[in-house]
């Protein structure tokens, strides 16, 4: 069973990389861009057939290592 984890900086934490990427996109002519937040992506393959148990395990991974919850939020999706 595979899961996708996306980690982004919390909204009240400044994301200078996202800002610069957004500014560059505007500079090269991309229109209607409101904002960009840059993050990290993990694809996790688990030996688990129960999706609830799998998601619980991935949540544990996020809390213990993958995300720093003081500054980051995480989202888990089954893929």
Partner 1 sequence: MKSSVIVFPGSNCDRDIAVALKKLQFKTSMIWHKETELPKSDLIVIPGGFSYGDYLRSGAIAAKSNILTEVISAGKKGSLILGICNGFQILIECGLLKGALLRNSGLKFISKDIQVKILSNKSKFFKKYKSGEILKLNIAHNEGNYFTNKEHLDELENNELIPIKYCDRNGSIDLKSNPNGSINNIAGIFNNKKNILGMMPHPERMSDKVLSSEDGLGLFLSLMN
Query: What's the min distance (Å) between Cβ of 51 and partner 1?
Result: 26
Give the footprint of partner 1 on this chain (CB under 8 A): 13-14, 16-17, 20, 65-66, 68, 70-71
CB atoms within 10 A of CB 58: 23
Rounded CA-CA distance 25/14 in Å is 18
Query: What's the min distance (Å) between Cβ of 37 and partner 1?
Result: 14
Q: Are 7 and 66 in contact, with CB atoms under 8 Å apart?
A: yes
Cβ distance to partner 1 smaller for residue 69 or 75: 69
Query: What's the min distance (Å) between Cβ of 43 and partner 1?
Result: 15
């Amino acid at each position: 069973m595979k899961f996708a984890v996306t980690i982004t900086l919390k909204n009240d934490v400044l994301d200078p990389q996202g800002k610069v990427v957004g500014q560059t996109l505007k500079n090269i002519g991309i229109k209607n861009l409101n904002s960009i937040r840059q993050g990290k992506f993990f694809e996790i393959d688990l030996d688990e057939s129960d999706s609830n148990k799998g998601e619980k395990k991935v949540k544990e991974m996020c809390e213990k290592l993958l995300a720093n919850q003081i500054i980051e939020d995480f989202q888990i999706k089954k893929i």
